[in-house]
Every structure is written in structure tokens, then in C-alpha cells.
């Protein structure tokens, strides 16, 4: 997908080393060991980031293989349906477990969250590093499983297929998902404790930027839901090795019970993916509209509400599994209600844009793309949550399109947007915004070409996870594949933009976008211990005190006008 | 999990809470990113409690599986429970309770600078763990001897070596997906399903048993010589007795499947606890703990109590079914 | 910080008081231990009395009481920060949610599920062994929908 080599962490510190005036977290200590054993949340986050992006490259390669195979009915680049099954399974498992779930909380969250909060680190730095190495172990196990014969179960591991398939790599990949689950649990645990206990004086709950609220809500889901995935996978491993029969209908077991187990985790897991992205979008939109976020408390509470609701809708994945009629009805009804807090957020974002003075920076373009794509993804979720339509749409490309709109179009776009938002902070370099925005547009167009087509395909009856298809579907498949190539171009351009900035980017100011939360008040890149001097915690959505300063080429927070600091300035706080 | 040493000891001047005189010293137990001992201690406590919550959900999954299986097969549970040894289970419950008590006392000793008492209590706790596992070992071997095991081996008389081999082979043989649990007949509206086999087995390459569950031949007369063991006296039964019991309900193996899953996972936690307590013993002998630094004992103790707490539910659910 | 070493027991005036955490008096700990052992004996005894459905309920009720004792006394929750108690209760509530919804489903549809005797399971399974001729299933169960 991209020809750019991912620079190793060592290489990055070398790049920035060239600026002797700075002593920041990248340069504070030297050598590869200082990275491998680091306890600094920022460095752990950076390692996560490279790893996740590497996994994304791998998963993306599989995606392109899949789409290419579907260019024609019958064999295109492989003549084995089994190989195709392995590809889509790998693509799904990598994207879900290795990329999207850790992407925002573990990578961006780790880097930004403690700074935003005004803390020196997360509560348990060693556990944090341990989480990262669990992630690495999980990634290695995925590769081991490939060498042992791969797996073709789909990322959902449905029984009894997953317990009876002859593919040799099922147990390693189950172990991988188990280990990755614990990586996610420990990240969540760490973040909950950090938010509860490490807030400095002044950082009250309702002063927290919305990104923190969303990360906090995500962490709750991670801690409460992921253990159930753990036990489910453990039972599958036991079932496959010693054949206990709990999920095996031929032994009196119950395969639908497996689905209850799996979706009790995996529906909340889709909110592990989307909530952090919503947090990023809230902050990008507020900062780039230079206007207080509309309905702060509503957005904050809707994060928690979504987290709680997400636990009681899992049955909407099982409408055609033989789940009882009563439960189908109940789950359908509750699923509709989840749309409410999601819609609350969308309306609040739009209300924030309204009358804001919007700067169309690259992160802002990503935020707008998110708004558009999430709306489509969320609304099609309602089609699927309707019992009668789902009987028709279940296991078709309509579902594939729905979850790509929410997982890729929203969660991943949110992640890339966040990357652009905090890139100057993380590496101290500005990227070329013109290129970045063009890349955003290419991705946006390619995405819609790829996946909107799949809504049509699905509603016409093309089932998902098929290697072959009827000739009348071909035109849609061809369009969809072309879309995926467009996206590949877009992501390559994004990579060129971002990595290029490390080589020849302008030095970034501390506050390039005009943010007011604490991370914009420490240097770019942040110093080793985050804040040389403890910052004062203000109202992070009051942008009246943030002013452009041409001398530093960035924004400056001038608190002398803030009535909280200087009561004499009461009147100057403009109509707002 | 707790921060024990602080090698990077930066100044505490910035954003200190300012209400806790002890905090500003150069307490060697205070990690650099905390402002005060209280903050550090509270964080460790919240951290371990969140971890325990994940443990509860982890076991929770198994409890749900237990409940579903029991709802589906109530007769299996009330029948098979009698093969478990209530006395041994009861003794094990008491052992765990006592070890929990010594653990709680150990925390107290650490908090009050009683190093000797701490070591004694931890060693007692450790011995409780060993005692629990020894009793569990006897229970398991007894069950294995009686062929009260999981899966299809449950139905193979243990002394029949050949049959056993066959069962093993069967387990690893790939079975095509044949078993379809037809749940709502109105949805699929296959008329007269009852009269036919649920699945046209001849259509699949390698069939498996139908969706009816596993059991000894139903309705077949029990072997003449079989004397059904009186419930609760399974200790006297000879291996494979259950196979000769005409009253054994179908799918009885499921009880043992979930029994081994739950007690097995609990046993793994006991072993992990032993590792943890061993480490605490080593550190307390080294003299690490005092009233100024007992967080590790406290959090380790909480882990040990949750192991006890889970057993408190496992015991009645498996051993005490009337 | 609300729970600094404030000591209730009085009798331990000479003791060291840690800066953080709470020291639970010995009499609480031993009392809890004795109560737990006593309840264990009761719960075993109750097993031998036939109360029908109530047996399970009673056994579980006793288990809940025992668990509460462990949590409040041994695990210090009685003196700890309330949020830690909330974490414990919360985790149990979420297990409850999972249990309630799955059990409701099973309760609804178990009448429509095959749940009969296996027709000569061993012979069928042996017929399934690799290399064996195609298996035969003789349907002897009551069939689907025999729930009425
Ligand atoms: C407005 C809220 C949403 C509703 C009502 C909703 C509803 C649904 C329904 C009913 C299905 C099952 C379709 C079927 O299999 O027939 C489904 C599938 C799916 N949804 Fe959503 N959804 C929503 C939001 C999300 C979000 C935010 C994400 C992820 C970030 C997501 C990810 C998925 C995934 C991955 C699947 C497919 C899982 C699979 O079978 O492999 N959904 N959704
Ligand atoms: Cu869902």
C-alpha cells in the first residue's frame, strides 16, 4: 500500500536529535533499550502507534487482496476458496483486535491522555508497558498461527465450525485474541485509575476535555466486557483440544450460547472502537470552530450512556440464529434506543459548527468526513436492528457496508484525524496541510465508492464471506474494488505527508490549532515529565482567551483576560 | 501492580495537594508520578479492585454457562452432583476460609509492623493453598479413576483400553457441521420433522451424532448385573458404575465438563495465588514490608480473598444440589 | 483523605498506625472466620433436607451472606472507599445482565429444542469413526416442537 518504510523508534529520535535546543521525551534518553524498557506513557504510546500502523498495513494488504479476488466471479488471483476464507479471516481479526481496538486508547490515548489530564504519567506505568508487550505477543501469535496452517473461521469464531475446522492455526489465533484482550483490559484499568486518582487540583470531572470522557467510558467497557471474551476464547480452546461439548450441539451443548458469549463482548467492543473516535471528533470540532462545544454535559453523559447501553443490545447480532422471538423483540427495541445518545452527539457537533468560525485544517476535514460517514453508518445500523429487514439483510454485504462505515469510516477516520491533530504535538513537526487535506479527500471518495456500493450489493442479496458470485453482481464488485484502490492511494499519500514532515517539516509551535486543553500548553514535543511547571487548569472550551500570535506562528493562551484569573477583566469576556 | 520503588525521584513541588504533611518528604516508597502516599495507595487499591472486577466477569461467563446448562438439563445436575464428594468439598471450603483469615491477619501484621507475624500468617496461607490443591488432587484422581470425565470418554468404560483409543480417535476426527439446532419450528416450518432424522446424515461426508445429545442407549435395558449405586455413596462404586446406572440421564457428561472447567480455572487461580504469596513471603523475609509499605500485601490479599469468594459459590453450585 | 488511620478499636492504642489504609481489629477478623465456618456447616446440612426449589435458593442465599462477610471484613470494604464497593457490585450486576438475558432466551426457546435421549450414541459415534460407512441416525426422540 505504501512504499514508505516505517521508521523505527530509534530513527525518530535521531531525526529530532538534530535540534540541540530541545530536551523532550524523544531525546531525554538515548538508545534502543531506553525505548524497550521505557515506562514513559508517551514513548509507550509511540511504540503502540508504530505497531498499530504496521498491523494496519498488513490488514490493509489483505483487504486489497480480497477486493482484487472479487474483481471477477470465480478464481481471479487465487483458485482456492479456502485461501480466500483465510484472507478475510485474517483481515478481520487483524483489523479488529490488532488495529482498531488498541488504536485510539492505547496509541493516541497513551500519548495524550495523561498530559491532557495534567498528570505526570498513567497510574501504573509498568502495567502499561506490560500491556504493550501483551499486544506484541498477540501479534506474534497471529503470525505463528499463519505458519501453522492459518485459520478460516471468520473473526467471530462461530461454533461448531471453529471447533471442527481442520485449519491448523485456530488455537494460536484464539490464544492471540485472548492475550490481546488482556492487553486491552490492562490499558482500560490503567486509564480508569488515572482519571480517578491522578487528576491535579482544578481538574474537576466537568473540566475534563471530552476526549478524556470518551476514553474513560471506553475504559469502563474494556474492563467490564473484555474478560467475557477471555473466558469465551478459553472455552473454545478447551472445546477444541479436549472436546468438552459445551458449545457442541452433537454433544448436547448449545452453539447459540457461544453467540451470546461472543456478542456480550463484541457488541460493547464496537463501542470500544467508536467512543474514543467520538471523543477526538468532539475536540477537533470545538478547537477548529474556535467555539465552546455545544452541550458539553450531554456529550459527556452520552458517552457513559452509550457504554452502559452497549451491554444490553448484543442480541441484535443473533436475530437469525434461532434466538427466541421475545428476545429478538427486546434486543431490537433496545438497539433503537442506543441510537439516541449517538444522535445527541451528532446534533451537538453540528450545533457547535453552527456560528463557529471554522478553520478548515486537515484534522477538521477528517472530522467532517467522520460526521458524514458516521451518520450513514449509524442509520444503517437501525435498518439492521429492525427485525424484519434484518432477516433479509443479515450476512449480506449490507452488514459489511454498515460496519465498515462505522469501523473504518468512523473509528479509523477518527484515529487518522486524531493523528493529524496531535502529530505536531507528538513529533514537534508540522506536516504539509495541503497534501494532508487532499489525502483526506481521496480517502473519503475512495471509501464511499468502495462501501456505498456494498449497500446496494447487500440489499440485492449478495452474501458476505463468499469467494464466488453470480455474474450480475460483477459491476458492483468492480466499482467497489476500484474504490479500494483509490483508498490505497489516499493512505499512501497520508503516509508520505506525515512521514515526510519528520524529515523536512517545519518546527511545530506548542499550540498550532488554538486548543486550550493542557496538552497544548506544554512544548511540542512535550518534555520528559510533561510539564516543567504545573499548568493552571482553565475551562478547556473557553476559546476567548486563545489568540493567534504571529511571532511564534501558533496560538497562545492569554489567561489575563480570564475572569477566573483576573476578576478585573470580567467585562472583556466577549459575548459568547 | 503497585509502585514499590521510585528510582526517578523528582521534586514534589509541583501541583502537590498540600494537605498531607507526609507527602512532601522523600519517602522512598513514593513513585515519581504520585503526589502523596495516600494518592498512591488509593490508586493501587482502585487498580486491584478493577482487576478483581475483571476476574468476576471472567468467572461470570462460566457461571452463565453453568446456569444455561443447568436450565437445559436440570435432571443431569441433580443426578450427577451425587458423584461429587461433599465432605471433601466441605473440607476444602473450610481450608480456603481459614487461609483467607490468615491472609487478612497477614495484612494486619504488615500494617502494624509485626514482621514475624506477617511471615507466619503468609506461610499459613500458603499451606492452606497447598492443602486445597492436595484435596482437589485426590478428588480429581478419584473421578478419573471412576471415569467421571468430560466429553465422549465419559461413555467409554475405563478398563476397555481399546474402546478408549477409539474414543480418542473420534475426538480428533473432523466432523462436518451437521448438527443444526432447529429452534423455532414455525420459522422454518418443516412439516413432520419429528418423524425424520433432523439432518439427512447421508448427505454429509463425515457425520456426527445428531442434535440429540449424547447418552447411553436410551431405553435399552440396563445390564442385568447392574446395581444402581445409592446416590451419595459413589466412593464405593467401581469404575464406570455410572454407565450401568439405568437412571443416568442423557448428557450427564455436560455436568462434568462444566465442573472441570470451573474448578479447573479456579485451581489455576489458586496456583497463581501460591506464586503471589510465595513472592510476598520472600519479600517479607527480606524485610520489605512495614506500616509504611504494605500495599503489596494488601492487594495480594485481596486477590486471595476473591479466589475464596468464587469458591464460596462453586461449592454449593456443584456439591450441594439436592 | 477520609480513611486515614482512624482507629475504632481503642484497645490497640499502643499499635503502630499506618499512614494510609485501615487496620481491622483482630476480633472482627476472627469473628468473620468463625461465622464463615459456621455457615459452611449450615449449608452442607441444609442439603440433606428436601425443600424442593428452595434448596438452591437457600444455598445461594447462604453463599451470598458468606461472600458479603468476606468482602466487607476480610477485604476491608466496610472501611474502604465506597467506589471500590461500587466496582465490586458493578461487576456482579454486569454478570447478572449477561445471565438474565441469556437465561431469558433459553427459557423461551428450550421447548423447541431437541433434548431427548441420544439414539444409541455409542454405535452412532463408532459408525462415525474415520473410514466407517456413513452414519445412521435412528430418530427416537420426541421430535421438534413436542413442547405443547
Ligand atoms: C447506531 C448504532 C448501531 C446499531 C443500531 C447497529 C446495529 C447493528 C446490527 C443490528 C448488526 C447485525 C447485522 C446482522 O448481522 O444482520 C450490526 C452489525 C455490526 N455492527 Fe453495528 N450498529 C450500530 C453501530 C455500530 C458501531 C458504532 C460499530 C463499530 C464501530 C458497529 C459495528 C458492527 C459490526 C462490526 C457488525 C458486524 C459484526 C459481524 O457480524 O461480523 N455497529 N450492527
Ligand atoms: Cu452490535
Chain C residues contacting A via beta carbons under 8 Å? 83, 90-91, 94, 97-98, 101-102, 104-106, 108-109
Residue B16's pLDDT band, with cuts at 50, 70 and 90, is very low
Average pLDDT, stretch B151-162? Answer: 66
Would A527 be classed as within a structural domain? yes
Whole-number pLDDT of residue B35: 86
Is residue A22 domain-resident?
Answer: no
Listing DSSP states for A102-119 in one string gives HIIIIIIIHHHHHHHHT-
Is there a contact between A246 and B46 if contact means CB atoms under 8 Å apart? no
For the cut 50, the answer to whether the pLDDT of residue A162 exceeds it is: yes
* Residues A240-270 as b or e (16 or more Cβ within 10 Å = b): beebbbbbbbbbbbbbbbbbbbbbbbbbbbb
Q: CB of B16 within 8 A of CB of B23?
A: yes
CA distance linking residue B164 with residue B152, whole number of Å: 9
- Nearest ligand for residue A88 CA: 1
- Tell me what pLDDT residue C21 has: 84
Q: Quick one: pLDDT at residue A201? A: 86
Domains of chain B: 49-148+255-320 (1.20.120.80)
Task: Flag whether pLDDT at B181 surpasses 70.
Answer: no
The domain that holds A399 is classified in CATH as: 1.20.210.10
Average pLDDT over residues A457-479: 95
**C91 pLDDT above the threshold of 80:** yes
Task: Give how far Cα B49 sits from Cα of A111, B31, B302, C24, C67, Å.
Answer: 25, 20, 8, 18, 15
pLDDT score at B14 = 35
**What pLDDT shows up at residue A535?**
77
% chain C with pLDDT above 90: 47
CA–CA separation, A13 and A230 (whole Å): 37
Q: Is the dihedral of CA A511, A516, A517, A522 positive or negative?
A: positive
Percent of chain A with pLDDT over 90: 76
Per the structure, the count of domains in chain A is 1
Classify A92 as helix, strand or coil: helix
Q: Phi first, then psi: give them for residue A88, nearest 5 degrees.
A: -70, -30
Judge whether A32 lies within some domain: no
Peptide bond preceding A525: is omega within 30 degrees of 0, i.e. cis? yes
Beta-bridge mates of residue A463:
A396
Q: CA B151 to CA A242: how far, in whole Å?
A: 7
Quick check: C94 pLDDT over 70? yes
User: B26 falls in which pLDDT band (50, 70, 90)?
Assistant: low
Distance CA A88, CA A465 (A): 7
Could you tell me which residues come within 8 angstroms of residue A190 by beta carbon, excluding any fewer than 6 positions away? A122, A123, A124, A127, A128, A131, B47
The residue-averaged pLDDT of B120-125 equals 97
Query: Once rounded to an integer, what is the mean pLDDT over residues B135-151?
Result: 89
pLDDT at residue C2 in the model: 39
- CA–CA gap between residue A512 and residue A67 (Å, rounded): 39
Tell me the pLDDT of chain B averaged across its residues. Answer: 74
Left, alpha or beta for B18 (phi > 0: left; psi -120 to 50: alpha)? left
Per-residue model confidence as pLDDT tens digits over A374-409 = 999 999 999 999 999 999 999 999 999 999 999 999
Query: Which of C1, C47, C67 has its CB closest to that of B86?
Result: C47
Residue minimizing CA distance to atom 37 of ligand 1: A403
A124 close contact with B: CB closer than 8 A:
yes
Tell me the C-alpha distance between B63 and A340, whole Å.
32
Query: Which ligand 1 atom is at minimum distance from the Cα of A407?
Result: 30
Q: Is the ipTM of this complex over 0.90?
A: yes
Region B104-125 average pLDDT: 96
pLDDT for residue A97 is more than 60: yes
Average pLDDT over chain A, rounded to an integer:
90
Q: Is residue A33 part of a domain?
A: no
Measured distance CA(A79)–CA(B204) in Å, rounded: 24
* DSSP line for C31-82: HHHHHHHHHHHHHHHHHTS--TTHHHHHHHHHHHHHHHHIIIIIT-TTTS-H
| Phi-psi label, residue A155: left if phi above 0, alpha if psi -120 to 50, beta otherwise | alpha
Q: In chain C, which residue's Cα lies nearest the Cα of A259? A: C102
Interior/surface letters A436-448, b for 16+ CB within 10 angstroms, e for the rest: bbbbbebbbebbb
Residue A15 domain-assigned (yes or no): no
Radius of gyration of chain A measured on its C-alpha atoms = 24
Ligand 1 site residues (CB inside 6 A) read A 156, 270, 273-274, 316-317, 335, 338-339, 342, 378, 381-382, 384-385, 390, 393-394, 399, 402-403, 406-407, 411
Query: Is there a contact between A553 and A509 (Cβ–Cβ < 8 Å)?
Result: yes
Residues forming a β-bridge with A548: A555
Going through C63-134 in order, the beta strands assigned E by DSSP cover none
Sign for the CA dihedral angle at A399, A400, A406, A409 comes to: negative
Q: What is the CA radius of gyration of chain B?
A: 27
Mean pLDDT along residues A35-58: 95
Q: Which of A57, A56, A53, A78 is nearest to A66 (CA)?
A: A78
Domain ranges of chain C: 1-79
Is A168 a domain residue? yes
Q: Is the pLDDT of residue A216 over 90?
A: yes
DSSP state of A158: -
Q: What is the mean pLDDT of the segment spanning A424-432?
A: 95
Reported as type and span, the H/E element at residue A507 is: strand A506-507
What is the per-residue pLDDT for C126?
A: 54
* Number of the ligand 1 atom closest to the C-alpha atom of A410: 30
Considering every ligand atom shown, identify the ligand nearest to the alpha carbon of residue A402 and give its number.
1
In angstroms, what CA-CA distances link B309 with A496, B61, C72? Answer: 55, 16, 12
pLDDT tens track for C18-65? 888 889 999 999 999 999 999 999 999 988 887 877 888 899 999 999
Is residue A18 included in any domain, yes or no? no
B38-75: b or e for each residue (b if 16 or more CB lie within 10 Å)?
A: bbbbbbbbbbbbbbbbbbbbbbbbbbbbbbbbbebbee
Domain that holds residue A174: 38-575
- Model pLDDT, residue A571: 46
Q: Do A282 and A351 meet the contact criterion of CB atoms below 8 Å apart?
A: no
Res. A432: pLDDT tops 70 = yes
What is the mean pLDDT of the segment spanning B255-271?
96
Amino acid at each position: 500500500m505504501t512504499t514508505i518504510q516505517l521508521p523505527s523508534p530509534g530513527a525518530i529520535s535521531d531525526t529530532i536529535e538534530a535540534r540541540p535546543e530541545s530536551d523532550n521525551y524523544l531525546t531525554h534518553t538515548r538508545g534502543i533499550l531506553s525505548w524497550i524498557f521505557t515506562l514513559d506513557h508517551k514513548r509507550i504510546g509511540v511504540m503502540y502507534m508504530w505497531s498499530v500502523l504496521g498491523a494496519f498495513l498488513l490488514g490493509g494488504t489483505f483487504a486489497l487482496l480480497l477486493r482484487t479476488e472479487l474483481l471477477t466471479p470465480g478464481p481471479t488471483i487465487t483458485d482456492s476458496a479456502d485461501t480466500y476464507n483465510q484472507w478475510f479471516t485474517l483481515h478481520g481479526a487483524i483489523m479488529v483486535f490488532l488495529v482498531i481496538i488498541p488504536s485510539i486508547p492505547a496509541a493516541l490515548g497513551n500519548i495524550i491522555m495523561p498530559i491532557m489530564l495534567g498528570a505526570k504519567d498513567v497510574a501504573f506505568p509498568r502495567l502499561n508497558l506490560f500491556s504493550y508487550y501483551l499486544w506484541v505477543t498477540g501479534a506474534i501469535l497471529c503470525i505463528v498461527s499463519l505458519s501453522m496452517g492459518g485459520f478460516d473461521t471468520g473473526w467471530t469464531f462461530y461454533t461448531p465450525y471453529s471447533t471442527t475446522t481442520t485449519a491448523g492455526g485456530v488455537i494460536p489465533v484464539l490464544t492471540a485474541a485472548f492475550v490481546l484482550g488482556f492487553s486491552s483490559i490492562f490499558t482500560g484499568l490503567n486509564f480508569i485509575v488515572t482519571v480517578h486518582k491522578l487528576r491535579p487540583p482544578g481538574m474537576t470531572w466537568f473540566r475534563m476535555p471530552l476526549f478524556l470522557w470518551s476514553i474513560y467510558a471506553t475504559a469502563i467497557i474494556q474492563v467490564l466486557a473484555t474478560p467475557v471474551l477471555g473466558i469465551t476464547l478459553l472455552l473454545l480452546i478447551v472445546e477444541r483440544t479436549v472436546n468438552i461439548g459445551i458449545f457442541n450441539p452433537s454433544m448436547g451443548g448449545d452453539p447459540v450460547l457461544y453467540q451470546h458469549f461472543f456478542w456480550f463482548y463484541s457488541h460493547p467492543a464496537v463501542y470500544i472502537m467508536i467512543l474514543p473516535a467520538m471523543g477526538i471528533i468532539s475536540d477537533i470540532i470545538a478547537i477548529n470552530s474556535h467555539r465552546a462545544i455545544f452541550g458539553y454535559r450531554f456529550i459527556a453523559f452520552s458517552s457513559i450512556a452509550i457504554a452502559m447501553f452497549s451491554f444490553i443490545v448484543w442480541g441484535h447480532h443473533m436475530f437469525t440464529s434461532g434466538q427466541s422471538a421475545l428476545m429478538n423483540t427486546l434486543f431490537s427495541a433496545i438497539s433503537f434506543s442506543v441510537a439516541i445518545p449517538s444522535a445527541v452527539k451528532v446534533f451537538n457537533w453540528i450545533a457547535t459548527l453552527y456560528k463557529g468560525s471554522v478553520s478548515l485544517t486537515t484534522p477538521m476535514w477528517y472530522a467532517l468526513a467522520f460526521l458524514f460517514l458516521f451518520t450513514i453508518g449509524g442509520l444503517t445500523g437501525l435498518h439492521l436492528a429492525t427485525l424484519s429487514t434484518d432477516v433479509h439483510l443479515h450476512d449480506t454485504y449490507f452488514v459489511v457496508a454498515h460496519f465498515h462505515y462505522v469501523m473504518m469510516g468512523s473509528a479509523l477516520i477518527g484515529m487518522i484525524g486524531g493523528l493529524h491533530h496531535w502529530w505536531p504535538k507528538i513529533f514537534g513537526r508540522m506536516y504539509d496541510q495541503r497534501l494532508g487535506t487532499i489525502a483526506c479527500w481521496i480517502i473519503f471518495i475512495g471509501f464511499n465508492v468502495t462501501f456505498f456500493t456494498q449497500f446496494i450489493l447487500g440489499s440485492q442479496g449478495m452474501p458476505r464471506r463468499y469467494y464466488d458470485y453470480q455474474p450480475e453482481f460483477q459491476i458492483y464488485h468492480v466499482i467497489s474494488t476500484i474504490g479500494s484502490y483509490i483508498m490505497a492511494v489516499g493512505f499512501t499519500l497520508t503516509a508520505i505527508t506525515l512521514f515526510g514532515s519528520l524529515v523536512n517539516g517545519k518546527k511545530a509551535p506548542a499550540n498550532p490549532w488554538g486548543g486550550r486543553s493542557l496538552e497544548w500548553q506544554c512544548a511540542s514535543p512535550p518534555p520528559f515529565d510533561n510539564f516543567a511547571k504545573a499548568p493552571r487548569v482553565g475551562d478547556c472550551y473557553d476559546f476567548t482567551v486563545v489568540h493567534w500570535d504571529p511571532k511564534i506562528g501558533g496560538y497562545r493562551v492569554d489567561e489575563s483576560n480570564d475572569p477566573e484569573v483576573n476578576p478585573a477583566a470580567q467585562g472583556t469576556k466577549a459575548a459568547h | 501492580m503497585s509502585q514499590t520503588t521510585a528510582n526517578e525521584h523528582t521534586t514534589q513541588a509541583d501541583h502537590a495537594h498540600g494537605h498531607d504533611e507526609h507527602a512532601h518528604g522523600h519517602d522512598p516508597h513514593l513513585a515519581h508520578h504520585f503526589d502523596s502516599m495516600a494518592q498512591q495507595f488509593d490508586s493501587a487499591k482502585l487498580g486491584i479492585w478493577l482487576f478483581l472486577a475483571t476476574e468476576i466477569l471472567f468467572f461470570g461467563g462460566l457461571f452463565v454457562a453453568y446456569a444455561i446448562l443447568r436450565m437445559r438439563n436440570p435432571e443431569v445436575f441433580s443426578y450427577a452432583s451425587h458423584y461429587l464428594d461433599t465432605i471433601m468439598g466441605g473440607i476444602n471450603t473450610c481450608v480456603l476460609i481459614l487461609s483467607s483469615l490468615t491472609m487478612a491477619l497477614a495484612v494486619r501484621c504488615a500494617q502494624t509492623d509485626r514482621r514475624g507475624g506477617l511471615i507466619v500468617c503468609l506461610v499459613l496461607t500458603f499451606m492452606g493453598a497447598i492443602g486445597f490443591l492436595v484435596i482437589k488432587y485426590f478428588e480429581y484422581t478419584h473421578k478419573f479413576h471412576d471415569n467421571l470425565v468430560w466429553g465422549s470418554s465419559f461413555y467409554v468404560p475405563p478398563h476397555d483400553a481399546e474402546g478408549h483409543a477409539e474414543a480418542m480417535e473420534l475426538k480428533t476426527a473432523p466432523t462436518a457441521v451437521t448438527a443444526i439446532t432447529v429452534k423455532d419450528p414455525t420459522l422454518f416450518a418443516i412439516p413432520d420433522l419429528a418423524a425424520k432424522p433432523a439432518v439427512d446424515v447421508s448427505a454429509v461426508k463425515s457425520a456426527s451424532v445428531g442434535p440429540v445429545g449424547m447418552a447411553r442407549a436410551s431405553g435399552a435395558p440396563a445390564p442385568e448385573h447392574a446395581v444402581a449405586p445409592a446416590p451419595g455413596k459413589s466412593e464405593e462404586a467401581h469404575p464406570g458404575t455410572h454407565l450401568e446406572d439405568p437412571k443416568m440421564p442423557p448428557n450427564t457428561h455436560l455436568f462434568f465438563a462444566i465442573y472441570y472447567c470451573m474448578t479447573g480455572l479456579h485451581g489455576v487461580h489458586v496456583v497463581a495465588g501460591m506464586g503471589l504469596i510465595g513472592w510476598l513471603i520472600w519479600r517479607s523475609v527480606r524485610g520489605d514490608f512495614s506500616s509504611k509499605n504494605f500495599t503489596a500485601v494488601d492487594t495480594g490479599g485481596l486477590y486471595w480473598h476473591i479466589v475464596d469468594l468464587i469458591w464460596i459459590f462453586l461449592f454449593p453450585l456443584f456439591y450441594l444440589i439436592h | 483523605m477520609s480513611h486515614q488511620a482512624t482507629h475504632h478499636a481503642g484497645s490497640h492504642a499502643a499499635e503502630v498506625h499506618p499512614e494510609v489504609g485501615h487496620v481491622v481489629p483482630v476480633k472482627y477478623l476472627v469473628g468473620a472466620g468463625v461465622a464463615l465456618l459456621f455457615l459452611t456447616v449450615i449449608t452442607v446440612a441444609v442439603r440433606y433436607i428436601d425443600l424442593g426449589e428452595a434448596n438452591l435458593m437457600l444455598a445461594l442465599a447462604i453463599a451470598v451472606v458468606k461472600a458479603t462477610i468476606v468482602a466487607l471484613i476480610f477485604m476491608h470494604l466496610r472501611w474502604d472507599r465506597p467506589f471500590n464497593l461500587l466496582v465490586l457490585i458493578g461487576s456482579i450486576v454486569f454478570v447478572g445482565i449477561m445471565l438474565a438475558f441469556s437465561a431469558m432466551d433459553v427459557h423461551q426457546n428450550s421447548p423447541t429444542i431437541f433434548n431427548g435421549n441420544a439414539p444409541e450414541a455409542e454405535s452412532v459415534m463408532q459408525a462415525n469413526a474415520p473410514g466407517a460407512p456413513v452414519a445412521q441416525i435412528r430418530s427416537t426422540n420426541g421430535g421438534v416442537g413436542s413442547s405443547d
